[in-house]
Every structure is written in structure tokens, then in C-alpha cells.
Structure 1
Amino acid sequence: MLMEVFGQWWRKGTRIGIRIHPCGLFLAAAFAVTCWAARQTSLDQFYLVAGLRVGALLLVPLRYWVFLILGDYAHLAYVVLPLSDELGIAWSILTPACIMPTIAAIVRLHKSVLQNGSPAWLISLAAIAALAISSINIAMAELLWPVPPDIGILQRLIRYSVGDFLGILTLAPLAFAWRLRHKHAAEVGRVTLISVGAAVAIPVLAVASVYVRAEQPWLSGSLLFAMGMPAVLLTCLHGWRGAAAAVSLVNLVMGITMPSTGQPWSFDSTTFVIQQILAVVGITLLALGSSISHHFNRLRTEVIASSEVISQTRKAHTASELSLRERAADMNRIGEGIDLHLSETADWLIRQGHPRVAENLISTSAFYSRKFRAQASLVYPTALEHVGLYLALQIGGISDVWQSTERILQPRLFGDPCRLPVALQLATYRALTEAVSLLLQCEQGQIRVSARCGRTRFGSGIVVVAAIVDPGHRLSDATIKAVTDRLAGRVLSHGGTVECRQNRIRMLLRDT
């Protein structure tokens, strides 16, 4: 079977269909011209063409990569073919044919991890691509040049690799940031005057370094190192996108201001040392920015999830309170019906000549009617909607319950709770009554209830405290656990906090 397939392929060959699109040809031509222009401003230790190759592969869809390879080959052929008589025709043909496909394969291998929006992999991409390009150039020169260069292989590898790496770090992060401009846009952060100032400071420091280079070389080097400070600031403000912009700016101004002799192997050893340091700084900034963005996204996801949980909890509490409100209204209607029937019965007894029995019936019904309505107010404090939280605590059924324990002192209430939303007052009422109930069940001693509501620059809210009067008292672990389990959900749903401090339970609820 295998031999038949091979024989058929040998006879008929393989058909390869390639669609030549005008946009692709235009892309190839534009890429070739751009690479040629970038080559004019590049040095061995700062090679922008490498960054253009990687950046273009990151931006352009996979189906157009063949045109990028064609454009890069055309650009390299234009550069190296005039040297074919001196360096060999084989080198002039093979070297351009190997570089761009190798970079494309490296970018393709990193495609899956880069699609997840992890910029830290740009460092791996830049390092591998730089080493691959440099290795191809050196290997082709050693194998195909009639006379190999005098510079040692290791020296050339380091110099070329650093130059290619810096070129990639200059343009590839910007291309990657542009590609992901619509993904996780919230992590970019708002552009402020500080961000603009930091971005402007980098080229200003570079220009100042060039200006004082001849007279004060030590100051020139210090200014070059000072460019790292605004770069770090951009990274901290905008995560890996800020790092991408900072690293690109630093490398670009370094490349533009780098002294050059104009020779093919122009090299400045002092600047090269600084560039090696900047390469390390670039790696550090991208790694730091990636870490900042990662933790920011994780925190933002947690905050969104927490907000959703709080919103759902508040809706559940609201639905529960509406149900209790209806139940309390039904109880009040039943109580009113009972009162009406008892009143009619008392009138009938009076007409039948039994006034004393009617009087006893009326007094008894009034007593139990108050008890019944007090219990209904414990189900839902209807008075809170009309007279506010403080009066609901003082005249509602909860006041009778607290007085019957003989452990609750007169509440200390400050502020006007009627300015707060009814939902917030109701949540405060539930939380406070639950806190007092826990103290009555689990602790000994007199209890003091206090509350203060008002408004600050962060918004309006209320602070309530249920405390054991004895200052030396300490809440038990069981009480603290019960407070956390039974009160935290309701209080947190209103943007508040619950704290157990020594002898007291302190709760803050805010109007959010």
C-alpha cells in the first residue's frame, strides 16, 4: 500500500495551490522597504530589522506570512546580492532564504502561549529568535565565505545576539500590545500626566546624555542609567503594557543616540556595556510588568466575583425581607380582624346586660393584641419605614424583648437614620438585634447598644456597637465565631465590616 502511494506521488507529483493576493504583494513590498529603511539606522549591537521581523509576524495573520517571507527575502537579496562576487553566490542565496522562515517557525511555536496574553513569553521569543538569527549568520559566514571574518565566533555571537535581542525588545512588545489592545483593556489603566511625563522623560534624558557626552562622559552614563526610573514608573502604572512602551522607548533612544563610525561593524564598547545592562533591565521590566498585570487581573476577577456575590446576597436578603413584610402585614390584618370581632362581641355583651364581662374581654383583648402586634413587629419592623431605625428600636417589639431581659441599658443613638435608605436601616436593624441576641445567649453582664450615622467623604453609613458594659470582659471564641457566621454576610452585602474587639461587637454598614 505504501509503495503504491509513493508510486502515485512519483508519477503525478504534489499539487500546491497558492493564492497570490494583491494585498499580499503590497504587504511584501512594504515590508521589504521598511526593513531596508530600518537597516540604514541599525548597528550590529542594535539591529531593528530583527524587531521588525518578529513584530510583523505577531501582527500579520498566518495566511500572510508567506508574503512577509517574500518581502524579507527581497530586502536581503537587494542588500547581499551586490556582495556575491566578494562573499560567494551560495551565501547570497542561502542566507536570505533561512532567516525569516526560522523566525516564523519560532513565532509559530510561541503562538499558543502568546494567545493567552502572557507577555513574559516575549522574553523567550526574543532570546531564541536572536540566538537563531545570529547563529545562522555566523554559520553561513563560516561555511560559505571565502575568507571568514577576523572577529572571533563567540564575540560575534554575543554582539549579534545582543543587537538582535535589543531590536526585538524595541518593536515586538509594541506589536504584541497592539495585537491585544482589546483584550483585558481594564488593566491598561488611565493615562495620567504622570504617565505622559515618564514617557517624555526617557527621550529627554537620552538627548541630555548626548549633549554632555563630549564634556562630561560620567554624567552622560548617569543620565543613560537614569532612564530606568521613568521606565519602572510606567511599568508600575500600566503593567506589562507600560513595560513594553518603556523598554521600546529606552532601546529606541539608545539606538538612535548610539555613537557610530559608519563602518559595517561599527561598535562602541562603552555603550555596549550599557546596552547589555539595559537588556537585563528590559527582561526585568517585562517580567515585572507581566507579574503586575497577572496579579491585577486575578485581583480584578476576584473583586468582580466578590461584587457579584455581594449583589446576589443583597438581592436574596431583599427578597427575604419582602416575604417577611408580607407575612407581618398578614399577621396585622389577622390581628385587626380579631380585634374587630372581639369589639363586636363586647358590644353584644353590653347590650345583653353583661358590662363587666365585656370590660374584662376588652382589657384582655387589648393586652394580647399588643403582644400580637409586638410579635408581628419582630417578624418585620413596619414602623422602621415610617419613623426610622432609632424609633423602631425604642417603640417596637424588640424594645419589649430587651427590657424583659433586664440586661440591656438605655441605647445611645446619634444622628438621623431617616437620611439613610430603608434597606440599609433594615439591614442594620437585623444585624444589631442578632448581635444583641448573641451576647444575651453566649455572654454574661449588662449590654450597651450604641449607634451613630452620618456622612463622610466616602459616603453615608452607620456604625453600631453592641458591647458588654464591663471593660475587662472578653468575648469568647464561640461568640466571635457565631458573629462571623451569622452577621458577616448581611453586613458585607452593604459594603460594611464586622469586628469583635475585646468586649464589643462593632459593625459598619455603608450606603453603596
Structure 2
Amino acid sequence: MSTRVGIGTNSRRDQRLDWWRNGLQLNLRIRPAGFAVALVYAFACWGARQISLDQFYLPAGVRVAALLLCPARLWPYLILGEYAYFAQMRYPMIDKYGLAWVVIASACMMPAVALVVRLHRRMMTAQTEVWLLSVAATAALVATVLKLGLSHLLWPTPPSLPILSSAARFALGDYIGILTLAPLALLWTKRGARYDWQAWRGLPTVIALSFLLVLAIVTRLAAADGDVTKTSLQLMMALPVVALTCMHGWRGAAVGVPLLNLIISATTPSTGLPGSFDAPTFATQQIIALAGTALLALGAQISHYFHQYARRDQDGKRALTLSRTAHIASEMDLRERALGLRKIADGLDVSIQETVELLRRHGHHEPAERLLRASAAHSRQFREQTSMVYPTALEQVGLYLALQVSGAREAWDATDRVSRPRLGGDPCRLSVGLQLATYRTLTDAVSILLKNEYGQIQVRARCGQVQQHRGILVTVGLLDVNRTLSPATMALVTERLAARALAYGGTVTCHRNRIRMLLVDAPAPAARQSVQTPLVLRENAL
């Protein structure tokens, strides 16, 4: 056994040394589209640099947005494009800052930020978009450390500005730049997700966007009135962004926060030179950066919980649909059995009638009459019991008449405890499935009270419609208002009746001396809503 282990160890060692003996084979694939991406990226960075400030550095946002939009196989071309952008910008600076800084600082920024995005890849599959804030903060810090660290290490003369103030200016500028463009890139990458963009045409959304535009114009015009007025107007622009976030979740924040940052940048005084800085606006931008972070986080959570609620609501509707289907399938099975019993009863009636006729022809009139009377009574009882299996009359005459002619009514009358039902509305407007569910729920409720309570019982029902929903309200209670249903009866009601009511979007509740059941049908078609009179289903109206 030891010899085999030694051989296996040597073979693995030889495999590890193969690369040293035979060399490494690299497959380099040149993609023409990659060079186009590099060129577009370089021009985008150049254009963003022209309108950037130290406290609003858009190339940082272009960098992260490009990494989010492009697949990993195109990242080397992004590195190439950024190096080309830095080369044309920093080549004239070689004499002032040195060749080492121009080469090293231009080559390490994009790979470092790409590594940050790569490390967040697992977080990108999460159900919320909060990871974008982590990418933005980490990328801004890494970029700031590289900028300041390389400048202090490689410049012939280190920067004269204090390192902390420079770090705050660069970090905030990169962070705001990322929050301006990265959310839009993320929004584009998720364009295939299910979302109703028609909601943005709604009046509240239009008002919020219009209010943001008006505030931007007023802020631009009021720039000469003083820094206090301008700052107040800039802070007020966060209000419509809050409204967009509350209405549309993270998508509202992904649109509103970039608009807010762009508008504030457009209203910020600038020297027109790279590195321009406005101290009064810097304090406002710090607040706006915190507000934008909070809004993106809030929007992500709103969208997350909304999706959870929508999923649970969809699952609940699917469960209700399956429950209704199961109840209808069960009723159809009972219907087939009832029809089979009806056929048997019809056959027995024909046979007995033939027997009666035969007895009469042979002069046995008295036995024939007795047999006829007995068969009629038993046939009636048999049909009453059959109707309790499935009320076939309900399909022709509706719920209320089916209750009057079914065996359930005969059974109630036999107890002398159930008073005449008080019924209102037209049950024929309801679906057959809802009428069947009401029939079963009502008869079960009466049966529970007959077996577990004493005293007279009153049945009341009323059909109606509220907006696009049709339904029926049924109460089964004791006539004695001073009586209260026992806890055992209430528990039995919940166990036996709640499932069928919930399947039809209704409720079953017990209140003092009565059981209250509400069953709701599917939404009515628009064509029929105009011809139906809405009827509020209130218990006191019964």
C-alpha cells in the first residue's frame, strides 16, 4: 500500500512540473468590438472630465458604469481605453510630475476599481440593490488612496494641499460621480426585469419631475441672491426625489438621485478649468450625498419588500384559485353521484309503477294503493337526501329557491328550531361555484348550531356588489340576543367553515350569538358593472 502512495505522489509532482518544462500556452483573442468599446469609453471619460469638478468627478462614475454595463471579457479593453484617455491628458505633464507617475498612475486606476466590482459579484445576485452603495463607497476610497498615495510618492514635489482636505474632496467627488451614473447603468442592465414603466406616466410622477425641474430653474436664477437662498433651494430639490423613491422604489431613486446631482452640479459656480472647486456648494453636496445614499438604500428596501409582498400575494391568489378548483371538482363529483342516484330513483319509480299496474290488473287494488303511497313517501325522502348530496336545483333556479326546495329545508323544518330564512338580492348574478360554496357553508353553519346550541335559529342572507366585486353576506344566529355562542362552537365554526370561505376571498367570524360569513366572487366584467346597482354588504342592512 505504501508503494502505491509513493507512485501517486510522484505522478502528481511530475504533473505540477509539466508547465515548467513545456511552458504555458496563452490563447489571446482580439475582439474588434473591444477596440470600439475602448474608443467610446475614452471619449466618454474625456467628455465627462470637461464638465466635472473636484467635488463632482464624473469620470469615476463613467468608470464604474462601464464595468457594470460591459461583460468581464471586455474589461481589458476598458483598461486600454482609460489608459489612452490618461495618456492624451497626462502626456504634457511628464516634465512637471515625472514619467513614473504618468505611467503608473494611468495604468492602475481601472484595474483597482475593476477588482472592487469583481469582489462584489456575489452581492450583485442579491434581491436588493444596496450592494451598489458598497461598490460606490469602496471604489471612491480606492481611487482616492491611489490618487493621493501615488502623487505623494512619485511627484517630484508633493501636493501642497493638506492630505485630509484633499482626500475628502476627491472621495466625495468620486462618490457623487458614481452615484450619478452607476444607478442609471444598473437600471439599464435590469431593463429585462418585469416592471411596468407605464406607472411613470402617472400624474404624481409627472408632478414630482416637474417640481424638480422648476426648482432647478429657480435655483439657477436665484444664484445671485446669496448662498443661503441657493442652499435652501438645493436642499428642497431632494423632496421630489423622495417622492419618486416612495412611488417607484429603487428605480425612482436611480432616476431621481442622478438628476439631483446633475442639477446641483449645473448650478454650481465653476472656473471652467479642471479641478474647479466651490466651497459653499461643497457643504450642500455632502448633505445631498448622504441623502442620495439614504434614498438609494430606502428605494432598494422598498422594492425588495414590494416584490416579497407581490410574490406572496401572487402565491396567495394561486392558492385561492387552486382551492376553488378543488372545491368545484369535489362538487362536480358529488353532482355526478347525485345524478346517478336520481337515475336509480327514477328506475325504482318506474318499476314500482309497473308493479302497481300489474296488481291492479289482477284485482289487488288495496295492496297496489298501499304500495303506491309507501313508494311515493320513500321516493320523496330519497330525492330529498339526494338533493343534500348535491343541490341540482341550484343550477336552474339559484341559491335561494334551492334552499327552499332542497332536503336541507325539510330537515330544518323537522327540528322546529329554524325560522323562515330572510333572503335578499339576486343570487343568480353570482357564479355557480360561489352559490355552491354559500350553500355548503350555510347548511354546515345551521347544522353546527343545531347540534351544539339550543334555542331558535335565524338565517339571513343578502347578495350585492361593491365596485367590481360581487358577493353574499350570510348570518346564522340565535334569536335570543342575550345568548352567546360557546367557545367550543366558535372553534368548530372556524375549523369547518373558514377554509371554504377563504377560498372565495371571504371571511367567517363569530360575534356574540351569530356566525357571520362573507363570500366574494371574482371581479365582475366591465360590461356588466354598468347595469348592476352597487349594494353595500352590511350586516345591519339585513
Range 453-462 or range 326-335, more displaced: 453-462
Displacement of 1:462 in angstroms is 1.3
CA contact (8 A) 2:49 2:274 kept: no
The number of residue pairs the alignment matches comes to: 512
Stretches (4+) displaced over 6 A: 1-8
- The residue that corresponds to 2:504 in the other structure is 494
TM-score, structure 2 normalization: 0.91
Q: Deviations over 1:121-159 (max 9, x none)?
A: 001000000000011000011101111111111111111
| Long gaps (5+) in structure 2 | 1-9, 523-542
Q: Is the 8 A contact 1:420 1:511 kept in 2?
A: yes
* 2:239 is the counterpart of 1:229: yes
What is the alpha-carbon distance in structure 2 between the residues aligned to residue 117 and residue 33 of structure 1?
34
Deviation, 1:219, is 2.6
Determine the structure 1 residue equivalent to 2:477.
467
Which of residues 165, 169, 181 is equivalent to 1:155?
A: 165
Is 1:397–2:410 an aligned residue pair? no
In structure 1, the partner of 2:424 is: 414
* Contact 1:106/1:129 (<8 A) preserved: yes
- Paired residue for 1:381? 391
Aligned to 2:526: none
Hey, what's the Cα distance between the residues in 2 that align with 1:161 and 1:336? 91
CA shift, 1:306, in A, is 1.0
Kept after mapping to 1: 8 A contact 2:136/2:175: yes
- Taking the aligned partners of 2:75 and 2:271, their CA distance within structure 1 comes to 35
Alpha-carbon distance change, 16 to 207 in structure 1, aligned in 2, over 3 angstroms: farther
Residue 193 of structure 2 aligns to a residue whose secondary structure is: coil
> What is the CA distance between 1:188 and its match in structure 2?
8.8
Does structure 1 residue 130 correspond to structure 2 residue 140? yes
Which residue of structure 1 aligns with residue 515 of structure 2? Answer: 505
Contact kept in structure 2, 1:466 and 1:504, CA below 8 Å: yes
The answer on whether the counterparts of 1:240 and 1:292 sit within 8 Å (CA) in structure 2 is yes
Counterparts of 2:310 and 2:67 in 1: how far apart (Å)? 31
Match of 1:283 in 2: 293
1:256 matched to 2:255? The reply is no
Q: Is residue 185 from structure 1 mapped to residue 195 from structure 2 by the alignment?
A: yes
Q: Does 1:88 align with 2:98?
A: yes
Q: Distance in 2 between matches of 1:5 and 1:433?
A: 81
SS in 2 for 1:445: coil
Give unpaired runs (5+ residues) of structure 1: none
Asked if structure 1 preserves the Cα contact closer than 8 Å seen for 2:91 and 2:102, the reply is: yes
Q: Deviations over 1:440-461 (max 9, x none)?
A: 2222322111111122313222
Pair 1:439 & 2:462 matched = no
Q: CA deviation at 1:439?
A: 1.8
Alpha-carbon distance between aligned partners in 1 of 2:204 and 2:316, rounded to the nearest angstrom: 31
Counterpart secondary structure, 2:86? helix
Q: Distance in 2 between matches of 1:464 and 1:442?
A: 19
The aligned amino acid for 1:181 is: R
Query: For residues 87-116 of structure 1, what are the alpha-carbon distances to aligned partners after superposition, in whole Å with 9 as ceiling and x for unaligned?
Result: 111000000111000010111111222133
Structure 2 vs 1, CA of residues 362 and 214 (structure 1 numbering), >3 Å: closer, same or farther? same
Going from structure 1 to structure 2, the CA distance change for 1:3 and 1:400 (only over 3 Å counts) comes to closer
Q: Say whether residues 1:362 and 2:363 are aligned partners.
A: no
Q: Distance in 2 between matches of 1:359 and 1:57?
A: 98
1:387 is displaced (CA, Å) by 1.2
Aligned positions of 1:211-360 closer than 5 A: 211-360=221-370
Is 2:495 the counterpart of 1:485? yes
Matched to 1:425, the amino acid is Q
**2:293 counterpart SS class:** helix
Matched-pair contact (CA < 8 Å) for 2:50–2:274: no
Number of the residue aligned with 1:77: 87
Deviates more, 1:477-486 or 1:327-336: 477-486
2:423–2:461 CA contact under 8 A, matched in 1 = yes
RMSD: 1.9
In structure 1, which of residues 36, 39, 45 is the aligned counterpart of residue 46 of structure 2?
A: 36
Query: 1:270 is aligned with what amino acid?
Result: P
Shift of 1:224: 0.9
Cα distance between partner residues in 1 of 2:329 and 2:243 = 48
Deviates most, 16-25 or 102-111: 16-25
Q: Judging changes above 3 Å, is the alpha-carbon distance between structure 1 residues 244 and 428 closer, same or farther for their aligned structure 2 residues?
A: same
* 2:436 aligned with 1:426: yes
The structure-2 alpha-carbon separation of the partners of 1:269 and 1:503, relative to structure 1 and needing over 3 Å to count, comes to: farther
Residue 152 of structure 2 corresponds to 142
* 1:375–1:48 Cα change, 3 Å: same
Pairing 1:452–2:462 present: yes
After superposition, the Cα gap between the structure-2 partners of 1:315 and 1:232, relative to the gap in structure 1 and judged at 3 Å, is same
Deviation, structure 1 residue 199: 2.4
SS at match of 1:118: coil
Give the TM-score normalised by structure 1.
Answer: 0.96
Shift of 1:209: 1.0
In the alignment, the residues of structure 1 paired with residue 325 and residue 201 of structure 2 have an alpha-carbon distance, to the nearest angstrom, of 36
Amino acid at match of 1:372: F
Q: What is the CA distance between 1:470 and its match in structure 2? A: 2.0
Kindly provide the amino acid, as one letter, of the partner of residue 469 in structure 1.
Answer: L
Q: Which amino acid aligns with 2:130?
A: A
Q: Determine if contact 2:133/2:293 at 8 Å carries over to the other structure.
A: yes
Cα distance change of structure 1 residues 331 and 161 upon mapping to structure 2, 3 Å threshold = same
Q: Distance in 1 between matches of 2:512 and 2:269?
A: 69
* Distance in 2, Cα, partners of 1:10 & 1:350: 116
Deviates more, 1:393-402 or 1:479-488: 479-488
Residues 188, 238 of structure 1: 8 Å contact kept: no
- Aligned to 2:518, the other structure's residue is in SS state strand
Q: Which amino acid aligns with 1:353?
A: G
Identity of aligned residues (%): 48
